[in-house]
Amino acid sequence: MWNPNTNISEDCLYLNIWVPQRRPKVPVLIWIYGGGYMSGTATLDIYNSDIIAATSDVIVASMQYRVGSFGFLYLNKYFPRGSEEAPGNMGMWDQILAIKWIKENAAAFGGDPELITLFGESAGGGSVSIHLISPVTKGLARRGILQSGTMNAPWSYMTGERAEQIGRILVQDCGCNVSELETAPQRVMDCMRGVDAKTISLQQWNSYSGILGFPSTPTIDGILLTKHPMDMLAEGDYEDMEILLGSNQDEGEF
Q: Is residue 235, in this structure, part of any structural domain at all?
A: yes
Q: pTM of the entire structure?
A: 0.94
The whole-angstrom separation of Cα 164 and Cα 215 is: 11
**Domain CATH code at residue 33:** 3.40.50.1820
Instruction: State CA 32 to chain mean position distance.
Output: 8
| Domain that residue 71 falls in | 15-160+214-249
Report pLDDT digits (tens) over 180-228. 999 999 999 999 999 999 999 999 999 998 888 999 999 999 999 999 9
Q: Is residue 198, in this structure, part of any structural domain at all?
A: no
Q: Is residue 130, in this structure, part of any structural domain at all?
A: yes
Q: Is residue 178, in this structure, part of any structural domain at all?
A: no
Q: Is residue 156, in this structure, part of any structural domain at all?
A: yes
What b-and-e string marks burial along 233-251, b requiring 16 or more CB atoms within 10 Å of the CB? Answer: eeeeeeeeeeeeeeeeeee
- Other CB atoms within 10 Å distance of the CB of residue 43: 15
Report pLDDT digits (tens) over 131-180. 999 999 999 999 999 999 999 999 999 999 999 999 999 999 999 999 99
Q: Is residue 174, in this structure, part of any structural domain at all?
A: no
Q: Is residue 128, in this structure, part of any structural domain at all?
A: yes
- Indicate the number of domains in the chain: 1
